[in-house]
Amino acid sequence: MPKSNKTISKKDSSTSENGSPKPETSSKNQEDKTSSEVNSPENQLAAISNEDTGKVNEVSKLSIAHEIVVNQDFIVEKNDLSEDSLESQFVEKMYNAFWDHLKDQLSQTPPDFSCALELIKNIKQILMSLLLPRQNRLRNEIEEALDLDLLKQETEHGALDVPHLSHYILNLMALMCAPIRDEAVQELESIKDPVLLLRGIFQVLGLMKMDMVNYTIKNIRPYLQEHSIQYERAKFQELLDKQPDLLECTTKWMTRATTELTTSLSSLSITPGTSSGVISSFPTPKPDPDPPSLTTVLYQGYLNLVLRDHGNEEFPETLLMDKARLQTMRSKLRHLTILASVLLVARSFSCGVLFNSPEFVDKLKCITKALTKEFSTKPEESMLSVSEQVSQEIHQGLKDTGLTALSSENRASLVGQLRNIAKKENCIRTIIEQRIHLFLKCCLIRGMQESLLDFPGGLLFIEPELAELGWKFVNLMHHNQHVFSPYYAEILKNIISPPNDEDGEKPVK
């Protein structure tokens, strides 16, 4: 099969020359592309479901629909192998061999059109797949112009007019393509070599196919958003019907969250009675705290997933499709914690003047982000680089503004405090972590708008990054809560009041 490259470009929506809407493309990369195919939700749920083919297909449909709903930037884009990989080099050689073979066939006397005819057949299939249901006239025109039986007869008589067919195909592509592809199609018109022309046609057709997919995604997104909760719940129920123990890890996850909450409430409720400042010999008994609500348990569970590193701990099945997304959020929160800690320490040594300049703050943020990319594996080395660069920037910044530069003692103190951020028990880092945790908890409980109005101190310099992450986290968790709330309610009921029978938990219909 000829090679087709896929890329994404940004453009405005418009209408094609034949009156049909042209598909749109986007330059945005989809969020959370950190997981490999091995860790994809389809593969993980398929493993749970013993890799039954039917289940894998259902999981694949569910995952795609879920991705379209929760990720507004979801698009189909180029996903080629690394250009330096052996696989990529092998594939490239195979494609080159195919096109060389086609060139040899067309150069024969008389020409051999067998490969060319197969290519035209594939081109026809692609063009037909790009048509909208109402475009019957154009469909009939393509059927007539690219009649394979007639073309086969022409090849048998050595009369196949490849340049004429290529010109017709280019006209169709110019009519059907998105505006972003107009230039690419026009460039093909200047190619005279038939082999190079056919190769270019396939490359641009690959882009047009991708554009049509993204156009379709854009149009079905509102429908999916309206019906996503019922759809995802129904598909998950089908999986649960085939495997009743599918919620095992979810139950463990909710049990841990419930235990944490009840332990915390119990410790708060056991306080001795006092009178006039004297501890009574008989403490006033307090009633046991009410069991935590479903919403409280879920919020605790959600926060645990994004705030704690659980190592190889099993992930709840109801959140497997968002595992990579949550891991990315956890990684970003870790980096934001380090960034806020660095800025807080740096500000205390700048007399506050330098941090009144947004340009200076942005410069320090860029430096810190660049130098802490490997913080998770090399914390000491990362913070050593940060401390040297940041201290130099502050020292020079104070000099440039006419203020007293850092003394050797102050500079050494600044470097030391910045390097100490590499330690998990660092007090500044701990305070920042606590405030970030509190902010995310408030976002879930009080909503984003109200939380942003009462932004925690010490985090103002990372407010844009933290607010963006908070929006994504809250929207994702609320969607999950709405989809799986019946299952969560049944699980929590059994956690608080375990069933007496041996039947165990039953699926929620």
Instruction: Write out pLDDT tens, residues 378-425.
Output: 999 999 999 999 999 999 999 888 888 888 999 999 999 999 999 999
Cβ neighbours of residue 14 closer than 8 Å, sequence gap 6 or more: 21, 22, 178, 179
In this predicted model, which residue has the larger pLDDT, 508 or 456? Answer: 456
- Report, as an integer, the average pLDDT of 484-491: 94
Phi-psi region of 423 (alpha: psi -120 to 50; beta: other; left: phi over 0): beta
pLDDT at 288: 52
Give the mean pLDDT of 338-359.
Answer: 89
pLDDT of 195 reads 87
For residue 15, list its beta bridge partners.
21
pLDDT digits (tens, 9 = 90+) for 279-337: 333 344 444 567 889 999 999 999 999 887 766 667 899 998 888 889 899 999 999 99
pLDDT computed for residue 68 by the predictor:
75
CB of 307 closer than 8 Å to CB of 441: no
Query: Quick one: pLDDT at residue 20?
Result: 42
Q: Is the pLDDT of residue 341 over 60?
A: yes
pLDDT at 81: 43
Query: Bigger pLDDT: 220 or 139?
Result: 139
Non-local CB neighbours of 332 within 8 Å, separated by 6+ positions = 465, 469
Return the pLDDT at 69.
74
What is the pLDDT, as a whole number, of residue 482? 92
In degrees, rounded to 5, the angle at the alpha carbon of residue 323 between the alpha carbons of residues 321 and 329 is 130
Joined tokens for residue 137: 């006239």
Long-range CB pairs of 340-343 (<8 Å, 24+ gap) are 340/432, 340/436, 340/458, 340/459, 340/461, 340/462, 341/421, 341/426, 341/428, 341/429, 341/432, 342/368, 342/386, 342/390, 342/418, 342/421, 343/368, 343/461, 343/462
How far, in Å, are 11, 220, 427 from residue 400 at the CA level? 44, 56, 32
> Is the pLDDT at 139 greater than 80, yes or no?
yes
What DSSP element (H or E) covers 15? Answer: strand 14-15
pLDDT score of 59 more than 80? no
Question: For residue 23, how many C-alpha atoms fall within 13 Å in the half-sphere facing its CB?
Answer: 24
pLDDT at 278 over 50: no
pLDDT of residue 92: 73
Task: Report residue 427's pLDDT band, with 50, 70 and 90 as the boundaries.
Answer: very high
- Report the pLDDT value the prediction gives residue 13, as an integer from 0 to 100: 38
275 bridge partner residues: 278
For the stretch 152-196, pLDDT in tens is 888 887 777 878 888 899 999 999 888 989 999 999 988 888 888
* pLDDT of 295: 92
Is residue 106 predicted with pLDDT exceeding 70? yes
Q: Could you read off the pLDDT of 247-263 as tens digits, one per residue?
A: 999 999 999 999 988 88
Two tokens, residue 316: 């709840």
Highest mean pLDDT among 16-25, 54-63, 354-363: 354-363
Q: In this predicted structure, what is the pLDDT of residue 496?
A: 87
204-219 tens-digit pLDDT: 998 888 888 888 778 7
**Lowest-pLDDT choice from 48-52, 66-70, 129-133, 148-152:** 48-52
Per residue in 358-387, pLDDT tens?
999 999 999 999 999 999 899 999 999 999
Q: Can you read off the two tokens belonging to residue 38?
A: 């091995």
pLDDT of residue 297: 93
The HSE-up count of residue 507 (CA atoms within 13 Å, CB side) is 14
Mean pLDDT for the chain?
79
Pairwise pLDDT comparison (74 vs 398), residue with the higher score: 398
| pLDDT for the residue numbered 76 | 62
Rounded to 10 degrees, the C-alpha dihedral 403/407/411/413 comes to: -120
DSSP symbols for 238-272: HHHHH-GGGGHHHHHHHHHHHHHHHHHHHHHH---
In percent, the amount of the chain with pLDDT more than 90 equals 32
How far, in Å, CA of 54 to CA of 434, rounded? Answer: 45
**Cα distance between residue 256 and residue 261, in whole Å:** 9
| Interior angle at CA 395, CA 394 and CA 397, nearest 5 | 60
Of 200-204, 216-220, 238-242, 329-333, give the lowest mean pLDDT range.
Answer: 216-220
Task: Report percent pLDDT > 70 for the chain.
Answer: 76
Q: How confident is the model at residue 88 (pLDDT cuts 50, 70, 90)?
A: low
Virtual torsion, Cα 201, 205, 207, 208, nearest 10 deg: 140
Whether the CB-CB separation of 179 and 207 falls below 8 Å is answered with: no
pLDDT surpassing 60 at residue 271: no
Where does the pLDDT of residue 83 fall: very low under 50, low under 70, confident under 90, or very high at 90 and above? Answer: low
Torsions phi, psi for 278 (to 5 deg): -105, 130
